[in-house]
Structure 1
Amino acid sequence: MGGISSSGFDCSGLVKYSYQKAGKNLPRTAADIYKKGKKVKSLQKGDLMFFAPNKAKKPTHVAIYIGNNEFIHSSSSKGVSYAKTNNSYWKPKYIGAKRI
């Protein structure tokens, strides 16, 4: 499992840390975070986006939507970075969004 401090994050660590700074406590894993909040179809800034391989129902990755069809996330290969919602790698793995 990856980090949960400003010196190193995995995807859910980044989300947990960010929401904690906003006064909201979230579970530690993408799958557990997915159980929280309200499902949304129209994304707003701050919504959480969830991803899974092969459209599995249990997410393995979570990101924060920041507007303009972009999200911020953390991955083992690139660390904290931005991506477009229509990115050819992430788009087919997208399984839904939640508003906390």
Structure 2
Amino acid sequence: MLLLYRCRNVICACLTLASVASCKSIKNIGAKDHSTTKTGKSSTRTRSGDGRFIDDIEVKPGSVVTSKHASSGGKKGKLYQPEDDVPATGMNIERAEWLQLKFAIILDASVEKLTNMALLRSLDQWWGTRYCLGGNTQNCVDCSGFTLAVMRDVYGATVPRTAQEQYDQSNRIDMEDLKEGDYVFFHTSGRKISHVGIYLFNNKFVHASTSNGVMVSDLNDAYWKPRYRGAGRVSRK
């Protein structure tokens, strides 16, 4: 009986120790778990007004630059290279009209530079009009008929009908002085001046081509560059 009593006491003592040990272990586990409060080293977060985010990439309207080439107001790192002679307006790109977005892609220019909505609407109306010699409507048009219509409707200028006459009656300007709305003249066949277009931006000009109708081409194009004969400017209202 005495032996049985002692065994029972030993068993109770063991159970008590086990219980205490178990509680202590649970307490230690909880003390080591700092996952909800541990911050470690300071992490980089986007600050309000700071254009930097993943991998130190900085994004601003009209440009994409990395931290190695942070924008400083110059041209470095610009996505587009619109011409400086077209003033920026500080417009909100999110409020840009569809035509501005469309021609920004065509002209490789920033939307903020495309402020002449009358010109953009005129280009859109004439866009793709097929070529025909002597034509002057949006059913078909030739190069000088197209430039006459744009000069009249967009700039309020009265100009002669043929490419040679438009050349003769405009003021000569150097290529580096070209601005939106100036003439660009070419010699493509026979006569001295046989083709004319209207300068836009970034070496681009709009014209009625014999192959594709009203379209935009580049002055540096392999076809147009050797045929370029000069630029002209007329007074506008």
When normalised by structure 2's length, the TM-score is 0.40
Please say if 1:45 is aligned against 2:177.
no
Task: Please point out which of 63, 73, 78 is paired with 2:212.
Answer: 78
Contact 1:4-1:14 at 8 Å conserved across structures: yes
State the match for 1:9 in structure 2: 141
Name stretches of at least 5 consecutive residues in structure 2 with no aligned partner: 1-132
Conservation of the 8 A alpha-carbon contact between 1:11 and 1:75: yes
Is 1:24 aligned with 2:24? no
Name stretches of at least 5 consecutive residues in structure 1 with no aligned partner: none
The whole-number CA distance in structure 1 between the counterparts of 2:218 and 2:185 is 14
Residues 24-73 of structure 1, C-alpha deviation per residue, up to 9 Å, x if partnerless?
A: 1111110011011211112111110000038x882000000001110000
Sequence identity percentage: 39
- 2:191 and 2:173 map into 1 onto residues whose CA distance is 16
Contact 1:57 1:95 in 2 (8 A): no
Q: Over alpha carbons, which structure has the higher Rg?
A: 2
For 1:96 and 1:13, the matched residues in 2 are separated by 19
**Structure in which a larger fraction of residues adopt strand:** 1
The residue number in structure 2 matching 1:87 is: 221
Structure 1 counterpart SS, 2:200: strand
SS at match of 1:9: coil
Of structures 1 and 2, the one with the larger relative CO (CA 8 A, separation 6+) is 1
TM-score by length of 1: 0.91
Across the two proteins, how many residue pairs are aligned to each other? 99
Equivalent-residue separation in structure 1 for 2:152 and 2:169 (angstroms) = 15
Asked whether the equivalents of residues 64 and 71 of structure 1 are also in contact (C-alpha less than 8 Å), the reply is yes
> Is the deviation greater in 68-77 or in 56-65?
56-65
Could you tell me how far apart the structure 1 residues matched to 2:211 and 2:224 are? 14
TM-aligned CA distance change 1:3 to 1:91, over 3 Å = same
**Considering only aligned residues, what root-mean-square deviation do their CA atoms show, in Å?**
1.6
Point out the more displaced range, 12-21 or 56-65: 56-65
